[in-house]
């Protein structure tokens, strides 16, 4: 079996409320008629166009190769691209898209779900948390403005069966305006931090102690601000503090030594080499690699196995199309150090659901992996019709 063609697409989701969200996906075709789908998880913020180009560039390296040779193909992309070694998000996102599609092909070739090729089912059900509730918890994207909004969205998620929720309390001010980068970092004010604390206190009181609360920070604070903020919210029993500072081993180690809240990182850490310093210094309680930008399933499995050696838990970062969710579920089902699954509010929105043929959703806050060959989902006709597409042959 050989790779014969690759379609690379940058998708227009058709969302007026989130027009900047531009998923980058690919479909790899083979001479046997089997095809596989993958995703470069750089749909949000800046970088989608660069990832779109990177998948195209890497596609030329793998043409004609046997898609079942995922390790060989991964090494070729890593070494022959030149920029793979010590690479960053764009090159690893490109590698990820191709690698995920290869695993989809492999599962279909062997007529089995990918998790069985990764070692089999360790976790029969996957506990989920409702993620990024500052953006609401409903199909219509409505950001939280008042403290009461945060409480309302938290209660809605709990009523849907989730016993864990995650919110970034430092995204918006009371008017719904996003805080600027220069309003946090070293210039973060007590007024801003106290606003976040007020919101956290209200949510904790509303949902009770039995609901796990994760605090997202999106790396907007510097070290001193993160220390101060963590100490202010310690009374509210925070399960994890996610991306409290810029992802950096030295900063994370210093922060870990000063606070009692467990730290999570990973959305912006790529490859096993970049994770290793965190494992060695013990600063992370939870890692959050994104299969769509850390090097794909091939690399993510190695990262998870390394984490297991150091007793570090795993939650795959998921903020992309349902295809990335499917890939995460396959891997999380097969690893012993799985902790919890991220179910992003974006997954509730029709503009994202329409990108794949299946709409897998948690039931009462838990996922079960699809028992279908390959990833268990694939790109829809809508995706092909509403995208900028380049074909590599």
Give 361-372 pLDDT, tens digit per residue.
Answer: 999 999 999 999
CA pair distance 107, 373, nearest whole angstrom? 5
Helix (H) or strand (E) holding 208: none
Q: Domain limits at 23?
A: 3-111+380-392
Tokens of 252: 């994370």
Does residue 373 form part of some domain?
no
Residue 375 lies in a domain: no
Backbone torsions φ then ψ of 256, nearest 5 degrees? -55, -35
Percent of the chain with pLDDT over 90: 92
What per-residue confidence (pLDDT) applies to 100?
99
The secondary structure element, H or E, covering residue 379 is none
Same-domain status, 168 and 94: no
> Do 180 and 47 share a domain, yes or no?
no
Q: Do the beta carbons of residue 287 and residue 313 sit within 8 Å? A: yes
Neighbouring-strand partners of residue 30 = 3
Task: Answer yes or no: do 194 and 209 share one domain.
Answer: yes
Per-residue pLDDT at 228 exceeds 80? yes
Q: Is 206 within the bounds of a domain?
A: yes
Whether residue 201 sits in one domain with residue 135: yes
Task: Decide if 250 is inside a domain.
Answer: yes
Check whether residue 200 and residue 338 sit in a common domain. Answer: yes
The confidence score (pLDDT) of residue 19 equals: 78
Residue 84 covered by a domain = yes
In a domain, 18, yes or no: yes
pTM of the model: 0.96
289, two tokens:
């690699």
Q: Is the domain of 345 the same as that of 278?
A: yes
Across 21-48, average pLDDT: 97
The share of the chain scoring above pLDDT 70, in percent, equals 99
pLDDT tens, position by position, 268-287: 999 999 999 999 999 999 99
User: pLDDT, tens digit, for every residue of 304-324?
Assistant: 999 999 999 999 999 999 999
Q: Give me the phi and psi of 68, to 5 degrees please.
A: -75, -15
Structure confidence at residue 141 as a pLDDT band (50, 70, 90): low
Q: Which is it for the CA torsion 104, 109, 113, 118, positive or negative?
A: negative
Structure tokens at 100: 């995920």
pLDDT average, residue stretch 64-68: 99
Q: What angle do CA 314, 317, 322 make, to 5 degrees?
A: 125
- What is the total count of domains within the chain? 2
CATH code for position 57: 3.30.390.10
For residue 210, give the CATH number of its domain.
3.20.20.120
- What ranges in the chain are assigned the alpha helix state H? 48-62, 70-80, 89-109, 114-117, 147-159, 190-207, 223-233, 249-258, 271-281, 296-309, 322-333, 350-353, 381-385
Q: Which residue(s) pair with 130 in the sheet?
A: 165, 343
Q: Is the pLDDT of residue 42 over 90?
A: yes
Same domain (yes/no): 57, 124: no
106 and 138 part of one domain: no
| Same-domain check for residues 14 and 124 | no
> Has residue 372 been placed in a domain?
no
Judge whether 374 lies within some domain: no
Mean pLDDT of 231-259: 98
Selection from 329, 337, 333 nearest residue 309 by Cα = 337
DSSP character at residue 215: E
Contact between 327 and 291 under an 8 Å Cβ cutoff? The reply is yes
How far is it, in rounded angstroms, from Cα 220 to Cα 226? 9
Q: Which burial class, exposed, middle or buried, applies to 20 when counting CB atoms under 10 A from its CB (0-12, 13-18, 19+)? A: exposed
Residues 320-343 as b or e (16 or more Cβ within 10 Å = b): bbbbbbbbbbbbbbbbebbbbbbb
CA-CA distance, 112 to 343, in Å (whole number)?
25
Between CA 10 and CA 55 the distance in angstroms is 10
pLDDT at residue 140 in the model: 66
Mean pLDDT of the region 169-181: 91
Q: In the predicted model, what is the mean pLDDT of the chain?
A: 96
Q: What is the pLDDT of residue 27?
A: 99
Same domain, 302 and 358: yes
* pLDDT tier for residue 142 given thresholds of 50, 70 and 90: confident
Residues 337 and 195 in one domain: yes
Residues 363 and 388 in one domain: no
Report how far Cα 158 is from the mean position of its chain's Cα atoms: 22
pLDDT of residue 348: 92
Q: Tell me how far apart the terminal alpha carbons of the chain are, to the nearest angstrom.
A: 15
Instruction: Tell me the pLDDT band of 198, cut-offs 50, 70 and 90.
Output: very high
């Amino acid at each position: 079996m050989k790779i014969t063609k690759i379609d690379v697409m940058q998708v227009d989701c058709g969302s007026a409320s989130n027009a900047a969200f531009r998923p980058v996906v690919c479909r790899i075709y083979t001479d046997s008629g089997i095809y596989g789908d993958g995703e470069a998880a750089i749909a949000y913020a800046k970088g989608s166009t660069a990832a779109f180009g990177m998948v195209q560039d890497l596609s030329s390296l793998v043409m004609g190769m046997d898609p079942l040779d995922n390790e060989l193909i991964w090494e070729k992309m890593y070494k022959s691209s030149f920029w793979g070694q010590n690479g960053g998000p764009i090159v690893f996102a490109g590698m990820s898209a191709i690698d995920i599609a290869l695993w989809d092909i492999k599962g279909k070739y062997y007529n089995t779900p990918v998790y069985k090729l990764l070692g089999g089912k360790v976790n029969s059900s996957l506990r989920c948390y409702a993620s990024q509730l500052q953006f609401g918890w409903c199909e219509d994207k409505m950001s939280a403005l008042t403290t009461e909004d945060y409480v309302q969205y938290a209660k809605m998620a709990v009523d849907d069966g989730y016993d864990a929720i995650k919110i970034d309390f430092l995204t918006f001010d009371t008017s719904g305006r996003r805080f600027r980068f220069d309003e946090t970092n070293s210039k973060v004010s007590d007024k801003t931090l106290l606003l976040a604390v007020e919101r956290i206190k209200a949510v904790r009181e509303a949902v009770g102690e039995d609901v796990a609360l994760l605090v997202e920070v999106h790396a907007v604070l510097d070290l001193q601000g993160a220390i101060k903020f963590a100490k202010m919210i310690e009374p509210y029993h925070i399960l994890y503090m996610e991306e409290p500072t810029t992802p950096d081993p030295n900063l994370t180690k210093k922060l870990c030594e000063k606070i009692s809240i467990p730290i999570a990182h990973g959305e912006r850490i790529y490859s096993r080499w970049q994770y290793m310093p965190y494992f060695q210094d013990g600063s992370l309680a939870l890692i959050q690699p994104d299969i769509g930008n850390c090097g794909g399933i091939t690399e993510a499995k190695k990262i998870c196995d390394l984490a297991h050696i150091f007793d570090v838990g795993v939650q795959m970062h998921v903020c992309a199309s349902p295809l990335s969710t499917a890939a995460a579920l396959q891997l999380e089902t097969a690893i012993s150090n799985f902790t919890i699954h991220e179910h992003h509010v974006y997954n509730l929105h029709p503009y994202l659901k329409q990108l794949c043929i299946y709409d897998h959703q948690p039931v009462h806050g838990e996922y079960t992996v699809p028992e279908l060959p390959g990833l268990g989902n694939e790109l829809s006709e809508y995706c092909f019709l509403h995208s900028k597409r380049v074909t590599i042959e």
